[in-house]
């Protein structure tokens, strides 16, 4: 955000950033730049600039540039990329430490951390004296919590005093780094980022929530010299013997030039002692905490409090009242389905503009995770292969623009984005809980044919079959609030009448879905040919998705001018309520404490239906065509999946008896070495969602049963 870029427009700016974390777990470093492939793609920068991004948060990370000792930085990679950003006219905001703890010879809790980062900052500033905007330490409070209080990252401590020491070291590192940078460039600006959440609580836990709500400000408070006697947490830190350090920081503060707020739907939390209300919570939220002997769960407030959350606008107002300094939303991303990613970004963008109109100096909103992110659903504590697409999807090895790319281009050029579903508010603005579709509910979002107007309001046309694919498509659309129309006949006439934005052919020609009473499929590989509907859509240039068995012999031709057909190759598809499906049988038995027989030789080609349908709808929204694979990428056996399922469900793994015989679904042919890449989630991630969905359905059914019992008794 240099002076030139400020002068170019007085409006809200679009910034960007790709997930560049390098965090340490034990003796392993997890480098998102390597995982996304950006390490080897200089062309990504031109792709970012083409979106209309004005400033880009970009790494010049200590761990990457100088991993050893003595200090010998390697500027080769950064030289090439910063020169390209300068050529493109994109302003870099350089980050020196992004969720890291420094090279292996130091850590957040060692005295050498602050001085070492300052040495790195001096060298980087001397190399790039033209760079004006800097973030020496990204999210210091959050990084200190995850590393020194919760033990997720190195140095893996779980001690409050150590946590405060880590935070003070990061604040000193920021102060010393900016001092060195400003020796080279006196106009250098500090863009200080952190997560600004809020903690809600049930009454027995309110004291803990009050403390956390005070603690969330500490990184910025320290830099602004506000932590002095009388500050709400002064006595707490002084009690740990840190008074001298607090006074030294307050006497030589380094106030941010821009308060950078990183905000996610999960940033607001709920501490709830009513543990029994959350049996279906996500794996990442499963661990129980205790406060004064009271056990509790720590879950997303947005999914449990709905419109009672403070929300981003309220949090930004709090920061503005507290600091009175320019504010940027420095991370905005939603790891969700594609239209909800867009709804969230547009919600934040609109909130920022509304705040500006009220006099709050919000300067920018940052599209974060431009290239997506890896394993953040488990706090990047290990390699599991879970990927969340961002503005681009890199699963094929080359970035592919998603719906978000179109949305950002429109915003950057002053246009109102228009795409299916964007006229519907995000679920976080509507109800007390995220919408969940329970089997048997009446379709809620089917449009009458005379209501189809603009592109945003045009429906998805679902060609209904008599199997699970149509049910899965309807449930996915209801959950995501995408308008649809079910069509059974006269398909080409329906296309003309409805003018859909896409067609989804849910007829199960290859019997990919697990059937009632029969969890087997023919081993004879069918030949796949494009159905007449697909050929018609291809001629019209209308996006269309059709399903094929992963074992089908490929025989696909696109005779239309646009080749707009998406051919989805998949394995055996199951639903969480189908008791005839082998995964459901395994889970029910394990949760009942029953022994199960699982084959060590049968290949596991099951595909979780909701994952499949969400992925297909995402690709349709992105405008993808051609053949795509939604098959398991792990080449697991039935026994291997059963072991992971037991771990995810917290069941006894000794209940699994491994056999050499073929399993229940042995009629399916093996998938060989698998596809080059798959759009399907990793099997572990699919198992997590399957367990959560299955438990939710059981929880709802149990609640209905309990509610009905008193009525029956009254009768």
β-strand 362-367 against 327-332: which pairing, if any? parallel
pLDDT band at 7 (very low <50, low <70, confident <90, very high): very low
Q: Which two tokens stand for residue 95?
A: 């980050």
**What is the structure's pLDDT at 707?**
53
Ramachandran area for residue 102 (φ above 0: left; ψ -120 to 50: alpha; else beta) = left
Q: How far apart are CA 550 and CA 670, in angstroms?
A: 10
Q: Who's near 247: CB < 8 A, 6+ residues apart?
A: 228
Give me the chain's average pLDDT, please: 89
* pLDDT (0 to 100) of residue 467: 82
Tell whether 403 and 536 lie within a shared domain: no
Rounded to 5 degrees, what are φ and ψ at 120? Answer: -65, -45
Say if CB 180 and CB 125 are below 8 A apart.
Answer: yes
pLDDT of 536 reads 85
Listed in sequence order, the residues at least 6 apart from 504 whose beta carbon sits closer than 8 Å to its beta carbon are 460, 461, 462, 463, 473, 544, 545, 616, 617, 620
348 belongs to a structural domain: yes
How crowded is residue 708: how many other Cβ atoms within 10 Å of its Cβ? 10
Domain that holds residue 600: 446-702
Alpha carbons 163 and 146: distance in angstroms, whole number: 9
- With 70 as the cut, is the pLDDT of residue 450 above it? no
Q: Are 85 and 144 in contact (CB under 8 A)?
A: no
Whether 351 maps to a domain, the answer reads yes
Same structural domain, 152 and 31: yes
**Inside any domain, residue 296:** no
Tell me if 295 is assigned to some domain. Answer: no
Which two tokens mark 92? Answer: 């870099």
| Whether this model's pTM surpasses 0.85 | yes
Is 376 in the same domain as 495?
no
In a domain? residue 591: yes
Indicate if the pLDDT at residue 519 is higher than 70. no
- 536 in the same domain as 395: no
Examine the domain organization and report whether 485 and 342 are in the same domain: no
Cα–Cα distance, 31 to 440 (Å, whole number)? 45
pLDDT higher than 90, residue 515: no
CA distance 363 to 22: 27
Instruction: List the one residue out of 205, 210, 209, 315 whose CA is nearest residue 265.
Output: 315
Residue keyed to tokens 């795509």: 628
Over pLDDT 70: what percentage of the chain?
A: 87
The CATH number assigned to the domain holding 111 equals 3.20.20.80
Task: Give the pLDDT confidence of 530-567 residue by residue, as tens digits.
Answer: 678 888 888 888 999 999 988 765 555 555 445 789 99
Per-residue pLDDT band for 160 (boundaries 50, 70, 90) equals: very high
Q: What is the pLDDT of residues 265-309, one digit of tens each?
A: 999 999 999 999 988 887 778 889 999 999 999 999 999 998 899
CATH number of the domain that 640 lies in? 3.40.50
Considering only CA atoms, give the Rg of the chain.
Answer: 27
Per DSSP, what are the bridge partners of residue 261? 194, 329
* Residue that terminates a domain, selected from 387, 412, 437: 412
Please, which pLDDT band fits residue 398 given cuts at 50, 70 and 90? very high
Q: Is the pLDDT of residue 582 over 50?
A: yes
59 and 128 Cβ atoms separated by less than 8 Å = no
Q: Which stretch of 411-415, 515-519, 619-623 has the lowest confidence by average pLDDT?
A: 515-519
| Residue 664 confidence (pLDDT) | 55
In this structure, the answer to whether residues 348 and 496 fall within a common structural domain is no
Among residues 481, 484, 349, 354, which one has the least CA distance to residue 427? 481
- 343-383 residue pLDDT tens: 999 999 999 999 999 999 999 999 999 999 999 999 999 99
pLDDT at 341: 98
Note whether residue 708 is domain-resident: no
| pLDDT at residue 126, rounded to an integer | 98
Whether residues 403 and 499 share a domain: the answer is: no
407 and 527 housed in the same domain? no
* Tens digit of each residue's pLDDT (9 = 90 or more) over 304-354: 998 899 999 999 999 999 999 999 999 999 999 999 999 999 999 999 999
pLDDT higher than threshold 90 for residue 70: no
What's residue 441's pLDDT? 45
Same domain, 400 and 468: no
Residue 713 lies in a domain: no
Q: How far is CA 339 from CA 4, 264, 329, 618, 689, in A?
A: 34, 16, 20, 8, 19
pLDDT at 434 over 80: no
Q: Give, as one character, the DSSP assignment of residue 141.
A: H
Angle CA(368)–CA(372)–CA(375) in degrees, nearest 5? Answer: 115
453 and 406 within one domain: no
| pLDDT at position 446 | 57
290 assigned to some structural domain: no
Domain boundary among the residues 412, 427, 455 is at 412
Task: Give the model's pLDDT for residue 713.
Answer: 41
- The arithmetic mean of pLDDT across residues 222-246, rounded, is 98
At 134-153, the pLDDT tens digits run: 999 999 999 999 999 999 99
Is pLDDT of 658 > 90? yes
User: 106-110, 399-403, 611-615, 668-672: which range is least confident on average?
Assistant: 668-672
Token pair 């997720």 is found at: 152
- Tell whether the model's pLDDT for residue 708 goes beyond 90: no
pLDDT surpassing 60 at residue 711: no
Joined together, the tokens standing for residue 193 give 């980022």
Q: Please count the structural domains in the chain.
A: 2
- d(C-alpha 270, C-alpha 78), whole Å: 41
Cis ω before 155 (30° cut-off from 0): yes
Kindly state whether residues 396 and 538 are assigned to the same domain.
no
What does 95-140 look like in DSSP terms, one character per residue?
A: EEEES---STT--TTSTHHHHHHHHHHHHHHHH-TT--EEEEEESH
Under 8 Å between Cβ of 62 and 103: yes
CA 478 vs CA 453, 486, 605, 614, 694: distances in Å: 20, 13, 27, 11, 18
Q: For residues 183 and 227, state if they share a domain.
A: yes
- Is the sign of the CA dihedral 177, 41, 31, 390 positive or negative? positive
Last residue of a domain, one of 412, 432, 466: 412
């Amino acid at each position: 955000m240099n002076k030139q870029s400020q002068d170019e427009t007085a409006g809200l700016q679009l910034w960007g950033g790709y997930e560049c974390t390098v965090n340490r777990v034990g003796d392993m470093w997890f480098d998102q730049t390597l995982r996304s492939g950006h390490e080897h793609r200089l062309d990504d920068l031109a792709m970012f600039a083409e979106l209309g991004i004005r400033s880009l948060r970009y790494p010049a990370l200590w761990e990457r540039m100088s991993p050893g000792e003595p200090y010998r930085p390697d500027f080769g990679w950064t030289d090439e990329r910063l020169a390209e950003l300068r050529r493109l006219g994109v302003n870099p905001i350089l980050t020196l430490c992004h969720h890291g703890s420094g090279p292996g010879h130091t850590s957040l809790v060692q005295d050498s951390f602050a001085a070492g980062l300052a040495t790195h900052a001096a060298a980087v500033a001397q190399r790039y004296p033209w760079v004006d905007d800097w973030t020496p330490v990204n999210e210091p409070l959050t990084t200190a919590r995850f590393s020194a209080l919760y033990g997720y990252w190195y140095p893996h401590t779980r001690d409050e005093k150590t946590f405060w020491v880590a935070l003070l070291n990061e604040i000193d590192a920021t102060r010393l780094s900016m001092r060195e940078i400003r020796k080279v460039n006196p106009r250098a600006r500090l863009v200080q980022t952190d997560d600004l959440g809020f903690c809600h609580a049930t009454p027995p836990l309110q004291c803990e929530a009050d403390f956390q709500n005070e603690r969330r400000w500490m990184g910025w408070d320290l830099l602004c010299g506000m932590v002095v006697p009388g500050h709400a947490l002064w006595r707490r830190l002084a009690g740990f013997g840190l008074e001298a350090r607090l006074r030294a920081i307050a006497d030589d503060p380094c106030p941010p030039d821009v308060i950078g707020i990183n905000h996610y739907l999960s940033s607001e939390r709920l501490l709830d002692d009513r543990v029994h209300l959350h049996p279906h919570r996500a794996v990442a939220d499963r661990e129980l905490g205790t406060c004064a002997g009271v056990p509790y769960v720590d879950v997303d407030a947005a999914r449990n409090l709905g419109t009672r959350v403070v929300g981003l606008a309220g949090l930004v107002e709090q920061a503005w009242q507290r600091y009175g300094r320019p504010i940027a939303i420095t991370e905005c991303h939603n790891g969700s389905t594609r239209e909800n990613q867009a709804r969230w970004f547009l919600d934040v963008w609109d909130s920022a503009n509304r705040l500006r109109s009220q006099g709050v100096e919000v300067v920018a909103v940052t599209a974060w995770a431009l290239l997506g992110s890896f394993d953040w659903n488990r706090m990047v504590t290990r390699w599991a292969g879970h990927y969340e697409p961002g503005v681009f999807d890199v699963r094929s090895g080359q970035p592919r623009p998603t719906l978000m790319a179109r949305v950002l281009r429109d915003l950057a050029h002053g246009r109102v984005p228009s795409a299916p579903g964007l006229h519907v508010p995000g679920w976080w603005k509507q109800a007390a809980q995220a919408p969940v579709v329970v089997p048997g509910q009446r379709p809620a979002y089917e449009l009458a044919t005379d209501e189809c107007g603009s592109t945003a309001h045009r429906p998805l046309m679902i060609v209904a079959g008599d199997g699970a694919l149509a049910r899965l498509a309807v449930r996915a659309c209801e959950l995501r609030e995408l308008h649809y129309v079910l069509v059974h006949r006269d398909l080409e006439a329906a296309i003309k009448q409805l003018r859909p934005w896409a067609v989804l052919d849910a007829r199960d020609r290859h019997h990919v879905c697990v059937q009632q009473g029969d969890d087997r499929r023919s081993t004879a590989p069918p030949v796949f040919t494009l159905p007449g509907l697909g050929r018609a859509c291809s001629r019209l240039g209308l996006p269309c998705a059709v399903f094929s068995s992963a074992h089908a012999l490929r025989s696909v031709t696109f005779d239309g001018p646009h080749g707009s057909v998406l051919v989805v190759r998949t394995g055996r598809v199951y639903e969480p309520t189908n008791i005839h499906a082998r995964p459901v049988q395994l889970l029910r038995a394990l949760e009942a404490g029953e022994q199960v027989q699982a084959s060590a030789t049968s290949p596991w080609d099951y595909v979780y239906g909701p994952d499949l349908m969400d992925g297909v709808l995402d690709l349709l929204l992105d405008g993808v065509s051609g053949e795509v694979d939604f098959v398991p990428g792990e080449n697991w056996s039935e026994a291997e999946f059963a072991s992971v399922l037991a771990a995810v469900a917290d069941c006894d793994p000794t209940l699994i008896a491994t056999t050499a015989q073929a399993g229940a679904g042995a009629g399916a042919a093996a998938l060989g070495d698998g596809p080059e890449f798959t759009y399907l989630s990793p099997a572990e991630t699919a198992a997590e969602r399957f367990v959560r969905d299955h438990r939710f359905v059981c929880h709802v059914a149990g609640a209905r049963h309990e509610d009905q019992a008193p009525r029956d008794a009254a009768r």
